[in-house]
Amino acid sequence: MDNIKVSRMAISDLNEIKDVLLLDFDDFWSVSILETELINPNSKYIMAKINNKIVGFAGIWKAVDDVHITNIVTAKKFRRQNIGSVLLTNLIQMAKEEKGITSITLEVNSTNIPAQRLYEKFGFKVVGLRKKYYNNTEDAIIMTREL
Ligand SMILES: CC(C)(COP(=O)(O)OP(=O)(O)OC[C@H]1O[C@@H](n2cnc3c(N)ncnc32)[C@H](O)[C@@H]1OP(=O)(O)O)[C@@H](O)C(=O)NCCC(=O)NCCS
């Protein structure tokens, strides 16, 4: 899809999606966590729009020499249409533009195959495992890509 427009996401953009986060996006975060993230000075969020409607969003968090991907999600009805790839391409570019950053890292649920495939496609490699990271049951896979 070539009509995907990416821009910075602000707290005011949350109004459009806050009531449909669970239904349309299947997002694992509550509105309040997302609110906190959107005003966190160490975080940067972007959104993807099609026909002026938010169809995905993603964020990074800057540490000392590493950028951490905090979230990346595409609206359910728009999955497999390249939106996740467009968002991830933008996040990688944002990480490259940060001073002193050499790598980009994330945690992904070991059961989340679509996300793992997406990250692999963009050159992320598995570097570790956090046992029972999610709800004290599911493991998190740690993946990193050098910039
Ligand atoms: C992971 C997610 C963001 C991917 O978004 P998307 O817009 O569907 O991604 P794209 O269309 O750009 O797909 C890019 C690649 O990801 C992989 N992929 C995406 N969905 C997949 C699926 N259901 N099964 C296997 N691979 C998949 C493929 O390699 C795909 O490339 P291809 O279409 O050329 O085969 C989306 O599934 C999502 O929002 N999931 C719920 C939230 C989530 O789990 N986020 C990750 C948190 S770590």
Tell me: pLDDT of 27 over 90: no
- Given ligand 1 and candidates 118, 133, 145, which is best to mutate, with the most ligand atoms within 8 Å of its CB? 118
Residue percentage of the chain with pLDDT more than 70: 99
CATH code of the domain made up of 5-146? 3.40.630.30
The band of 76, judged by pLDDT with boundaries at 50, 70 and 90, is very high
User: What integer pLDDT is reported at residue 135 of this predicted model?
Assistant: 82
**Centre of ligand 1 from the C-alpha of residue 73, in Å:** 9
Burial annotation 113-139 (CB, 10 A radius, 16+ → b, else e) = eebbebbeeeebeeeeeeeebbeeeee
Chain-centre distance for alpha carbon 56: 9
Structural domain boundaries of the chain? 5-146
- At 1 the pLDDT is 62
Q: For the chain, what is the total number of helices (H) and then of strands (E)?
A: 4, 7
